[in-house]
Structure 1
Amino acid sequence: MLRTLTKRSDFLQANKGLRNARAGFVLLTRPNGGEGLRFGITVTKKIGNAVVRNRMKRRFRELLRAKLAEHGLPDHDHVLIGRAGGVERDFHTMSSELDKALDRAREGKSDPARGRRPRRGSKGGGPK
């Protein structure tokens, strides 16, 4: 049975796991210590207004419910992070991309970690 992640700490823990990026989303997977198959969805305000974000979350929810039951990693947390352009992508394309991302996660493969970008407005080596 699929359960939903609700605690911020679970999302932060998932961020320490495997990361597989695709054009419309990023999939994070991490073992959860026998708590079953769980999923979470994150879409930031950078993606668009509330209507756009909610549409993206509905599409992700449907994708995850369809795929995780048979392709999900047992006793893992799965978090989908929305990316710009994910709303316009074809549902079947996103479905096949999710299959590929889950296969890579099952193999223990992850995309290379990207470096931390400095925050805007931080003091440092900006142009003078």
Structure 2
Amino acid sequence: MKALQYPNRAARIRVRRDFLRARDGRSAARPGLVVQMVARDPAEGPARAGFTASKKVGNAVQRNRARRRLKEAARQILPLHGLSGTDYVFIARAGTAAREWEALLDDMKSALLSLAAPSRHRQSVKDKPGHG
């Protein structure tokens, strides 16, 4: 039996190695979630998404609810603001399950947009004019 294919759905990250690789990439934290991003070869296909919630989020019921909310938000937002050939890991925070839905969508959109922007390295104090 062939698996169902859904249009505009990001592939899922399910292997620990891929979660760990995303941990070493860029990240953006918002009140409702943390998003980690690592680029792959764009020829490898569309964006992939992984979801996680630690025990800090709450008991199993709360963690599952937080993950389900992140999955639905990513289903709506990732096709619009995600970069192809990129892995995203969405990490639930303690307030994810109780956060207002529109606020959670805004958090995810904001995080994805900030990660899509070119990275700017901070200048060290010595590199700034007038110092050292």
- What range is the shorter-chain TM-score in? 0.7 to 0.9
Match runs of 1:108-119 below 5 Å: 108-109=118-119
Q: How does 1:1-128 map to 2 (within 5 A)?
A: 1-34=9-42, 35-36=44-45, 37-109=47-119
Three-state SS of the structure 2 residue aligned to 1:81 is strand
Deviation string 1:13-50 (CA, Å, 9 cap, x unpaired) is 00111110001210001102233310000101111111
Using the alignment, how far apart are the partners of 2:53 and 2:59 within structure 1? 10
Consecutive aligned runs of 4 or more in structure 1 exceeding 3 Å deviation: none
Which residues of structure 2 form unaligned runs of 5+?
A: 1-8, 123-132
Q: How many equivalent pairs are there?
A: 111
**Further displaced range: 50-59 or 26-35:** 26-35
The two structures have a TM-score, normalised by structure 2, of: 0.79
Determine the C-alpha separation between the residues in 2 that align with 1:15 and 1:49.
24
8 A contact 1:18–1:108 mirrored in 2: no
For residues 82 and 97 of structure 1, the distance between their equivalents in structure 2, rounded to whole angstroms, comes to 12
Task: For 1:58 and 1:24, locate their aligned partners in 2 and report how far apart those are by CA, in whole Å.
Answer: 13
Aligned counterparts of 2:119 and 2:36: Cα–Cα separation in 1:
11
Return the structure number with greater helix share: 2
Cα-Cα RMSD: 1.6
Question: Contact between 2:13 and 2:19, CA under 8 Å: does it hold in 1?
Answer: yes
Amino acid in the other structure paired with 1:25: L
Amino acid at match of 2:103: T
Residue type of the partner of 1:65? R
CA deviations over 1:95-128 (Å, ceiling 9, x no partner) = 0111111111110348x9xxxxxxxxxxxxxxxx
TM-score by length of 1: 0.81
Q: Secondary structure at the match of 2:55?
A: coil
The structure that has the greater radius of gyration is 2
